[in-house]
Structure 1
Amino acid sequence: MSFSRRKFLTMAGATAAGVSMVAPLEAFYARVAQGRELEFAGGFKYGPLRPRLPQNTAALANTVVGDLRNIPLLELPRGFRYTAFSITGQTMSDGTLVPGDHDGMAAFPGPRGTTILVRNHELSPGEDEFGNLKGVDAPPEKRYAPNATGGTTTLVVDRRRRLVKDFASLSGTVRNCAGGPTPWGSWISCEETFSTTPDNNGNLIYHGYNFEVPAGTNTGLVTPVALTDMGRFSHEAVAVDPRTGYVYETEDSGDSCFYRFVPNVKGQLAQGGSLYALKIKQYPDGVNTSNNPNLGGQEGLIPVGREYRVEWVKIDNPNPIPEENSNDQQVRAQGQAKGAAVFFRGEGAWYGNGVIYFIATQGGPPAVDDARGNGQVWEYNPAKETLTLLVEAPPSGEFLDEPDNITVAPFGDLILCEDGGGEQFVVGVDLDGLLYKFARNLIDNTEFAGACFSPDGSTLFVNSQGLGVTYAIWGPWTSPDGEGGEGGEGGEGDNDGEGDED
């Protein structure tokens, strides 16, 4: 039977934090074999979502959209709280303004129990986000390109989830969408573009690269270095295998590949290396994995839960410059000429429990209101050299609508950020492969992005891109009934917000 048509999603393999999936999966597939459809009642694990006011309401009196002190920004389950900070247009510690279009992000341990966040800003040249045309502002010597406004900012958050410091850390790049943390304490910021911008003399500066930003409380602005050997293409996200130092990369394109970068020196990406694309051995001439005939695939061709053996094909020219050499091919075309697999819009990626999870945000069978699908979640196992389709959203989009960024919770669940139409949710996938809605964006229904957990596991940080705001969410993670559990210290005040009476 075809799993893609059922009203549930499945998940195979293992999750993060050493959680074994064997027993849950055996029970799960036994129920599938009996033809039983499984889902949480109402699609919730921690209980229904209710409007909540942030704990730091006093800090939200003056924003680019007005006074937010009495406006619930999120819906969350009972027992969960949040703070909201670093909103577009607010003044940062370095005197510049918070740029807009908050996107990918990662959390790192800081001194005295603080958390350091490095955050992307998906800004195109000339983009006006609430009047802030400068984007990630920096002096000329610290910009990669003088007329590009994307980049990263760095935030320092204390144990009470209060912002204590923020500053620009990478400037002069374009559409910094996602990226990923490294085991050596840095953030790889990815340009989601294959474009050029002019310098002040009219010469072209090429974009479509990765940039490394160290995570620290006093790094200031880095000197941007394009990591050209990691490929020039429309980058989305990366995930690093700490054992090997290999970097796995996704590409946001309708005919994208999934890549592996092997550095010449582990942990020294600027020293160069070799780029490869994933190939499924069963399909030596290549395969479209979308399971969608409208996207060049075949419905049900790649079943959920089946492992495929893979190998890697070399990308001979990782830095194509067709603007100068018309014979230069895009890296995905080079890979696919050697049989590399095709994914429909590769987006988020994350490392956990020895595997790499990554997203094909519009893969899957045709949605009821779109020729494209509602999303897929994949697992690549570097130890076994296998690829498995873990999650495929149903056509209805009821349970999952175009996942984008992904992270792995300390308790094993996958946490997905939606970037579809209509209402936008943070969606979890539990150990039985069942979905639940954890948070809803109330302020503007724009995409969630940058989900990541604090080093101690108590706080989920996530961005909302429309207004441009970062949230710190905490509560009874280990207690699905919404009671008890370790939530860590609270934020300012003790405001449970509206709709908290259950």
Structure 2
Amino acid sequence: MKTRLTPPYTPEEAAELAAEALRDTLDAVRLTRRAGGLALCRDVFGRLRGLGQWAAALPVDGNIGNGGDPAALLRTQRHRHLMIEGRAPGVCAEFDVASPCHSCRCGRLAWHLEGGPTMSHKTLLRTGPLLPGGASPYGPLGLQGAVGLTLPSGFTGRVVARSGHKVAGLTWHAAPDGGACFPDGDGWIYVSNSELPLLGGASALRFRADGSIGDAYRILSGTDLNRAGGATPWHSWLSCELGHRGRVFECDPYGARAARPRLAMGRFKHEAAACDPERGVVYMTEDEPDGCFYRFRPGDWGDLTEGTLEVLCSSGGWRVVPSPAALLQETRHQVEDARHFDGGDGCHYAGGVCYFTTKSDTGLWAYDAQTSTLDRLCEGVRAITAAPSGDLYVARETTQIDVIAPDRAVTPFLRLEGHEGAELTGLAFSPRGDRLYFSARRGRTEGHTFEVAGPFRG
């Protein structure tokens, strides 16, 4: 319901109207998040989280046109689109006055935040075994290329960075590990962790629209064993420390703001993180022989400063970890019914399912957040990501990446020759879904970061 405070009104009437407006706002945020969108409840004249990183943001407020200052709002937030008056039931907003926008149709404007992380439109079938050995959607692998990559017809590969070598003026870090891509105007950014003790951190490669590298820079320094991590819907990078009582650092892939530790997410041997925007939680893995599978529920989705850390239990439910700081007892031992895994590894969320891997048995697990069920899909997997098509791309124990189609067919996508004993890490698709990035690392010194471009399924 749209409300207007029209004088004269009593203090009681004003309080009632304000309470009604707040309920409407909170309902709109809740419905948007349930539909998979990103909604923030903020002062429209305050600082927007991730300022300068959104391709488009739509502020919705029913009182801007009654005494507000839209021009000041535009100057403050630099929005491409401005809602003058309106409301937001779910993911659409009716409006009175709005600036021209390509998505306007029949008096309605979709509430959208363009340029977010790549989302899968299709999902893996939720039941049934994986089916290896079928026909690849890209055909058979061809001959080995110049950089050691064997790819299907129509695909090309190149090395974009090498440990110890200069790239756009930056010496690329050793031990490249977890990675992710972020939109950057017409181009994009690939970030990569470094699993070095005490000198870990993360670096970024900025690509122009034509695929050339325009810049390279550090986004996190002086941290310990930054193994994997995860991208957030608001375009930050969660870099996870693998050391004893490790931390999660929230980093700015655009290099404008300093990284910040998010201590409420727990102190343990962090491996990877994956955001679930539908439930407003972040899943995390723990690299211990008896490690756990966690989820962090922030008090305000989009702000990881405070929240509740929970652990998956043998019963299938989640229980609160009493002391995330783990000063007296490790987080994995604080809940009696906690379910344990032998070395939590990679983690990726797509289509209502959080996929994660375990090191000891190289197992691939699927936690269905809709049904609260956990299945073990296969063995021999170390890293995982998803394409917009819904295909999963999994790095094997060998230097091979397979594709798992939504119908559960498993086929080879690429092989890397000449890097025997290397581990493939940091799988991530560019925002348009036409380029796949990953690194091949041996130990904590040698590492190559690759790009594969071609006709990936949309």
Q: Distance in 1 between matches of 2:142 and 2:417?
A: 11
For the structure 1 residues 44 and 352, does the alpha-carbon distance in structure 2 shift closer, same or farther, using more than 3 Å as the test? closer
Contact map agreement 1:88 1:100 (CA 8 A) in 2: yes
For the structure 1 residues 340 and 437, does the alpha-carbon distance in structure 2 shift closer, same or farther, using more than 3 Å as the test? same
**In structure 1, what is the equivalent of residue 215 of structure 2?**
165
2:253 aligned with 1:215, yes or no?
yes
Q: Distance in 2 between matches of 1:21 and 1:170?
A: 34
Structure with greater contact order relative to length (CA < 8 Å, sep ≥ 6): 1
Partner letter of residue 378 of structure 2? Answer: E
**In structure 2, what is the equivalent of residue 464 of structure 1?**
440
**In structure 2, what is the equivalent of residue 414 of structure 1?**
392
Contact map agreement 2:134 2:411 (CA 8 A) in 1: no
**In structure 1, what is the equivalent of residue 143 of structure 2?**
50
Q: What's the secondary structure of 1:465's corresponding residue?
A: strand
Aligned-residue sequence identity (percent) comes to 31
**Aligned partner of 2:456 among 477, 481, 488:** 477
**In structure 2, what is the equivalent of residue 392 of structure 1?**
378
Alignment of 1:56-71 (within 5 A): none
**In structure 1, what is the equivalent of residue 9 of structure 2?**
none
Q: Which structure 1 residue ranges, 4+ long, deviate > 6 Å from structure 2?
A: none
| Aligned-CA RMSD value | 2.4
Partner letter of residue 214 of structure 1? Answer: D
C-alpha displacement of 1:208? 0.5
C-alpha displacement of 1:162? 2.2
Alignment of 1:329-478 (within 5 A): 329-335=329-335, 337=336, 339-362=337-360, 373=361, 375-384=362-371, 386-393=372-379, 401=380, 403-418=381-396, 420=397, 423-445=398-420, 446-466=422-442, 467-478=446-457
Q: Distance in 2 between matches of 1:464 and 1:171?
A: 21
Partner letter of residue 274 of structure 1? Answer: T
For the structure 1 residues 437 and 354, does the alpha-carbon distance in structure 2 shift closer, same or farther, using more than 3 Å as the test? same
C-alpha displacement of 1:465? 1.7
2:179 aligned with 1:105, yes or no?
yes
C-alpha displacement of 1:376? 2.0
Contact map agreement 2:271 2:284 (CA 8 A) in 1: yes
C-alpha displacement of 1:40? 1.8
Q: What's the secondary structure of 1:444's corresponding residue?
A: coil
TM-score normalised by the chain length of structure 2: 0.69
**In structure 2, what is the equivalent of residue 266 of structure 1?**
301
Q: Distance in 2 between matches of 1:193 and 1:444?
A: 27
Structure exhibiting the larger radius of gyration computed from Cα positions: 2
**Aligned partner of 2:286 among 251, 263, 287:** 251
Contact map agreement 1:161 1:472 (CA 8 A) in 2: no
Provide structure 2 residue ranges, at least 5 long, that are not aligned to the other structure. Answer: 1-117
For the structure 1 residues 152 and 104, does the alpha-carbon distance in structure 2 shift closer, same or farther, using more than 3 Å as the test? same
Partner letter of residue 119 of structure 1? Answer: S
Q: Distance in 2 between matches of 1:86 and 1:430?
A: 29
Contact map agreement 1:378 1:387 (CA 8 A) in 2: no
**Aligned partner of 1:152 among 185, 188, 202:** 202
How many residues are aligned here?
337
Contact map agreement 1:178 1:190 (CA 8 A) in 2: yes
C-alpha displacement of 1:45? 5.7
Provide structure 1 residue ranges, at least 5 long, that are not aligned to the other structure. Answer: 1-14, 54-71, 125-147, 195-206, 282-309, 322-327, 363-372, 394-400, 479-485, 487-502
For the structure 1 residues 229 and 379, does the alpha-carbon distance in structure 2 shift closer, same or farther, using more than 3 Å as the test? same
For the structure 1 residues 166 and 16, does the alpha-carbon distance in structure 2 shift closer, same or farther, using more than 3 Å as the test? closer
Contact map agreement 1:122 1:174 (CA 8 A) in 2: yes
TM-score normalised by the chain length of structure 1: 0.63
How big is each residue's C-alpha offset from its partner over 1:105-163, in whole Å with a ceiling of 9 and x where there is no partner?
Answer: 0001111x211112101112xxxxxxxxxxxxxxxxxxxxxxx2000001111233322
For the structure 1 residues 233 and 20, does the alpha-carbon distance in structure 2 shift closer, same or farther, using more than 3 Å as the test? closer
**In structure 2, what is the equivalent of residue 397 of structure 1?**
none
**In structure 2, what is the equivalent of residue 288 of structure 1?**
none
Larger strand proportion of the pair: 2
How big is each residue's C-alpha offset from its partner over 1:367-396, in whole Å with a ceiling of 9 and x where there is no partner?
Answer: xxxxxx3x2222223333x12315122xxx
Q: What's the secondary structure of 2:333's corresponding residue?
A: helix
Q: Distance in 1 between matches of 2:132 and 2:419?
A: 28
Q: Distance in 2 between matches of 1:416 and 1:212?
A: 25
C-alpha displacement of 1:192? 1.1
**In structure 1, what is the equivalent of residue 270 of structure 2?**
235
How big is each residue's C-alpha offset from its partner over 1:209-243, in whole Å with a ceiling of 9 and x where there is no partner?
Answer: 10011121x42xx5343222111111110011113
2:314 aligned with 1:314, yes or no?
no
For the structure 1 residues 412 and 103, does the alpha-carbon distance in structure 2 shift closer, same or farther, using more than 3 Å as the test? same
**In structure 2, what is the equivalent of residue 200 of structure 1?**
none
C-alpha displacement of 1:246? 1.2
Q: Distance in 1 between matches of 2:416 and 2:173?
A: 20
**In structure 2, what is the equivalent of residue 297 of structure 1?**
none
Q: Distance in 2 between matches of 1:210 and 1:318?
A: 12
Q: Distance in 2 between matches of 1:77 and 1:46?
A: 6
Contact map agreement 1:192 1:234 (CA 8 A) in 2: yes
**In structure 1, what is the equivalent of residue 227 of structure 2?**
177
Partner letter of residue 388 of structure 1? Answer: L
Q: Distance in 1 between matches of 2:447 and 2:210?
A: 21
Partner letter of residue 172 of structure 2? Answer: V
